[in-house]
Chain A
Amino acid sequence: MKYQAVIGLEVHVQLLTNSKIFCGCSTKFGAAPNSQTCPVCLGLPGALPVLNKQVVEYAIRAGLATNHSIAPRSVFARKNYFYPDLPKGYQISQYELPICINGHLDIEVEGEAKRIGITRIHMEEDAGKLVHADVPGVGDDSCVDLNRACTPLLEVVSEPDLRSADEAVAYLKKLHQIVVYLGICDGNMEEGSFRCDANVSVMPVGSDTFGTRAEIKNVNSFKFVKQAIEYEIERQIELIEDGGKVVQETRLFDPNSGTTRSMRGKEEAHDYRYFPDPDLVPLVISDDWVEDVRLSLPELPASRLARYQTELGLPFYDAEVLTATRELADYFEACLALYPQAKPVANWVMGEVTRGLNDSGLAITACPVTPELLAELLKLIDAGTISNKIAKTVFDEMWQSGKAPAVIVEEKGLVQVSDTGEIEKIIDEILATNQGQVDEFRGGKEKVFGFFVGQVMRASKGKANPAVVNDLLLKKLKG
């Protein structure tokens, strides 16, 4: 029998607000344990939550960017369970009435476009962290660090519309790109700022009844998402083929073995006893607020991708590379604004700039060659002051010193030689000392032309204007 996988993803997006969702404590990562806490996030008796407006704004941004309706009225609910990292004994989340409903994202896998439904996005608070061993001065006891407690999260719940691990990864990458583009999440998967649980089931091809699903937790990279889902699909198919039955359970992905293992079954499943949190009033969002946020949204990757192709005439490949991150696209556009020729700018950004970043490990926002410097460089090429080849030398020098290209050209004497007299002199010398090759060319072997160009360029230390060299060489050889 042939099987079809059915996958839905629940993604937790940690928001880049300065303070926590229900109190004024800092959300900065890596501070001393429990140093960023107050009565509210410690869950002290009598403390009450107050909603951080910035979180709501970020949720609206995420909702609009993923085609959701923003609920005019949404409600916070308590999810009740006991765990030492959960100070109040309940997590404040949203349940029946979330802030964003009915969204979607369009993905493309192997050239095929597909629309993935998103059921909802809701706001919630994160839990703290347990540290189990090797805490200095504490010994074997478990320690609770509540710095992370009450940091704001969005949970993005997809419809079970995904049919393969590749689709799941494509969806996840798209979502990741959008939240980072929006500036609401740093996208750091290793630190857990963007984390994913996958619901996976299989059913016979052609069936319209979903199989029993397993929920896989702890998949914190795109690679692991693919691995975990593929493993889980295989596991379920084998199980069914062997006459077994998939049970509804939570499974943990083990990145070392690339497998999933059972964490807890349905019989151990929590009854979270959700109910509306009486400490928070229903959240009412006006149309005006939604419109204000809509107007403040940056241009999203999908729209940029389309515009680069239609308006700028760039090939799909270039457009995709340039829009991969908002910062790279912003860099490209900043340069383009000063030097309005898309293709050369694209080539330089995808070529020299990217190479420089890769070699140095720097982020595009820290690129020593600013868009202004790059644009100046391109203008020098256009003006014939330097050749493309020399420009690369100048670029490297700019990367090191941060000096303006004109200054470097001046200091290093790199100005292109376009003076026909000077170039003619060099050509004459070359032709005189390479009579054999001259004869070959004249005998019809035109391939040696390149040899002469190379010789002339070398003799001029790369400064000869290539167009002039070509021109003169042809005249001399044919003449």
Chain B
Amino acid sequence: MELYELTIHELHEKLKRKEVSSVEATQALLARIEATEPKVGAFITVTADEALAAAGEADKRIAAGTMDVLTGIPVALKDIFLTKGVKTTCGSKILANFVPPYDATSWERLRERGAVLVGKLNQDEFAMGSSCESSAYGSTKNPWDLACIPGGSSGGSAAAIAARQATATLGTDTGGSIRQPASHCGCVGLKPTYGRVSRYGVIAYASSLDQVGPVTRDVRDAAIMLGAVAGHDPKDSTSVDRPVPDYTKALVPDVKGLTVGLPREYHIPGLDADVKKAMDGAIETYRQLGAEFVDISLPHTDYAVATYYLIATAEASSNLARYDGVRFGHRTAEAGGLMEMYVKSRSEGFGAEVKRRVMLGTYALSSGYYDAYYLKAQKVRTLIMHDFLKAFETVDVILTPVAPTPAFRIGEKVNDPLQMYLSDIFTIPVNLAGTCAVSVPAGLSKSGLPIGLQLVGKPFGEESIIKAAYSFEQATEWHKQKAVL
């Protein structure tokens, strides 16, 4: 097995036993990036020099015997995480030259444990999209089929794992942005409960929905990464002050007696036959492992996408106001006055999807429309939250597809935003409910594209979904399939 193909825990063992150095592992990944990037395009920035320097430091730490499980592990971050001294674009032209003066808390936590940053990953602009096509830096290709999208918005985070360009990555998930690309690229993607991981230093899209999480090769790596970034941050008022369990303790293949809910409302007409087949297969696997299934109802599911697109865009319209050309980011070269500077800087700096959502959100918050749109959406959000809490009175986890179809072709839905929005129909309700979910490889389509299953847990029930996901992974071979590049 090549060094670039290893999981965190596999590479850690080799580093610990001094079979390999972090510099060697990092070099292997940088070489892999160089070889595969022309095809995949997962990175916006590759930080080769900084990575090798950090790997050298990590090797000293390993030699000194003070290593952590992440020491010397080459990771990459979605370009939404602020990295001190390393350009951070958020996939947007408006931040083309933005070099942050500080680190995101989640990256700081990885860095302090000795993780090595190999680069910053492509994404939909400001995390607005499900295909990575709205990036100002070009589309990332799905390593399983280069004509297909990798999913989004954390498309680069998933593609880099599938292309073996990084050992682990971080993404963010506002409506499915970790789970959907993980599903499309055959990786594990975990969206923690809202408040579990600090948002400080993560460029905000929709503040009440955004959450940081890992994209990895297997469930164990996801548990390791989550454990490293989770926990209260005094700099984020919405981060929750409760102890972080050792998530690797939940890596026990045992689902006997586990009650799994199957939401009635998720049987939608547009569900792809291969996805349905993968789901049926997964249910059968769990059944054989001793899990019990019950039908449940999440009655407000129909309203989730509409609710999401009101709340997320409303928050985004305000969050993106700071990109005004005054203090950082793009400023138009030709402005006569203040208003013109605002209009031109923003018109030039933002892409079409961002403009669409800013306008939608501005409208939803406008005087006279606020009650009908934003306020009503908040009320429906509460109902959706209650749907889940009620379901969790009788079930331990909920099983659903991640996306209604496998990865679609690049360009296929670009001109049909509504179709694009509907591809997040199974993931969005989880963000609205504020709870946690994980995407695990569960099959391949007829054309050989990965299909993921989604396990939704109770708020702060990460251990239960990790356990259920791990059990499935141990019983199947799907996570061992590899994209051929």
Q: Are B98 and A281 in contact (CB under 8 A)?
A: no
Q: Once bound together, how far apart are the Cα atoms of A271 and B365, in whole Å?
A: 9
Chain B residues, CB < 8 A from A84: 324, 326, 338
Min CB–CB distance B327 → chain A (angstroms): 6
Chain B residues, CB < 8 A from A281: 237-238
Interface string of A22-46 (1 = CB under 8 A from B): 0000000000000000010011111
For the residues of B in contact with A, the DSSP-based class is loop
**Is B200 part of the binding interface, using a Cβ–Cβ cutoff of 8 Å?**
yes
**Is A51 part of the binding interface, using a Cβ–Cβ cutoff of 8 Å?**
yes
Chain B residues, CB < 8 A from A273: 317-318, 362, 365-367, 370
Residue from the list A49, A89, A144, A275 in contact with B370, Cβ < 8 A: A275
Min CB–CB distance A84 → chain B (angstroms): 5
Chain A residues, CB < 8 A from B234: 50
Residue from the list A47, A48, A82 in contact with B321, Cβ < 8 A: A82
Min CB–CB distance B178 → chain A (angstroms): 18
Q: Are A144 and B327 in contact (CB under 8 A)?
A: yes
**Is B88 part of the binding interface, using a Cβ–Cβ cutoff of 8 Å?**
yes
Min CB–CB distance B125 → chain A (angstroms): 13
Q: Are A82 and B324 in contact (CB under 8 A)?
A: yes
**Is B422 part of the binding interface, using a Cβ–Cβ cutoff of 8 Å?**
no
For the residues of A in contact with B, the DSSP-based class is loop
Assess A45 versus B318: contact at CB under 8 Å? Given A50-B237, A278-B207, A278-B238: no
Min CB–CB distance B366 → chain A (angstroms): 6
Q: Are A46 and B200 in contact (CB under 8 A)?
A: yes
Min CB–CB distance B381 → chain A (angstroms): 12
Interface string of B191-202 (1 = CB under 8 A from A): 000000001111
Residue from the list B235, B327, B374 in contact with A43, Cβ < 8 A: B327
**Is A325 part of the binding interface, using a Cβ–Cβ cutoff of 8 Å?**
no
Min CB–CB distance A284 → chain B (angstroms): 12
Please tell me the number of chain B residues within 8 Å of chain A, measured between CB atoms.
42
**Is A78 part of the binding interface, using a Cβ–Cβ cutoff of 8 Å?**
yes
Interface size grouping (class) on chain A: 20 to 34
Q: Are A80 and B321 in contact (CB under 8 A)?
A: yes
Assess A45 versus B104: contact at CB under 8 Å? Given A78-B318, A89-B318, A279-B207: no
Q: Once bound together, how far apart are the Cα atoms of A281 and B104, in whole Å?
A: 20
Min CB–CB distance A424 → chain B (angstroms): 83
Q: Identify which of residues 177-215 in chain B touch chain A, using a CB-to-CB cut-off of 8 Å.
A: 199-204, 206-208
Chain B residues, CB < 8 A from A44: 100-102, 322, 328
Chain A residues, CB < 8 A from B203: 45-46
Q: Are A275 and B207 in contact (CB under 8 A)?
A: no
Residue from the list B202, B327, B367 in contact with A87, Cβ < 8 A: B327
Q: Are A279 and B90 in contact (CB under 8 A)?
A: no
Q: Are A46 and B104 in contact (CB under 8 A)?
A: yes
Residue from the list B199, B366, B374 in contact with A271, Cβ < 8 A: B366
**Is A105 part of the binding interface, using a Cβ–Cβ cutoff of 8 Å?**
no
Chain A residues, CB < 8 A from B317: 80, 273
Chain B residues, CB < 8 A from A280: 237-238
Residue from the list A42, A82, A90 in contact with B327, Cβ < 8 A: A42
Q: Once bound together, how far apart are the Cα atoms of A90 and B319, in whole Å?
A: 9
Q: Are A88 and B237 in contact (CB under 8 A)?
A: no
Min CB–CB distance A325 → chain B (angstroms): 37
**Is B342 part of the binding interface, using a Cβ–Cβ cutoff of 8 Å?**
yes
**Is B430 part of the binding interface, using a Cβ–Cβ cutoff of 8 Å?**
no
CB-CB nearest in chain A for B346: A82
Chain A residues, CB < 8 A from B315: 275, 278
Q: Are A49 and B237 in contact (CB under 8 A)?
A: yes
**Is B95 part of the binding interface, using a Cβ–Cβ cutoff of 8 Å?**
yes
Q: Identify which of residues 203-237 in chain B touch chain A, using a CB-to-CB cut-off of 8 Å.
A: 203-204, 206-208, 234-237
Interface string of B66-80 (1 = CB under 8 A from A): 000000000000000
Q: Once bound together, how far apart are the Cα atoms of A337 and B95, in whole Å?
A: 66
Q: List 17 A-B contacts (CB under 8 A).
A: A44-B322, A45-B98, A45-B328, A48-B199, A48-B235, A48-B236, A50-B234, A50-B235, A80-B317, A88-B321, A89-B320, A273-B366, A275-B315, A278-B207, A278-B315, A280-B238, A281-B237
Instruction: Contacts A48-B200, A274-B365 known; list 17 others, CB within 8 Å.
Output: A39-B101, A39-B102, A42-B327, A44-B328, A46-B199, A46-B200, A46-B201, A47-B201, A48-B199, A48-B235, A49-B237, A273-B366, A275-B315, A275-B374, A279-B207, A279-B237, A281-B238
Q: Which residues does A use to contact B, with CB under 8 Å?
A: 39, 42-51, 78, 80, 82, 84, 87-90, 144, 271, 273-275, 278-281
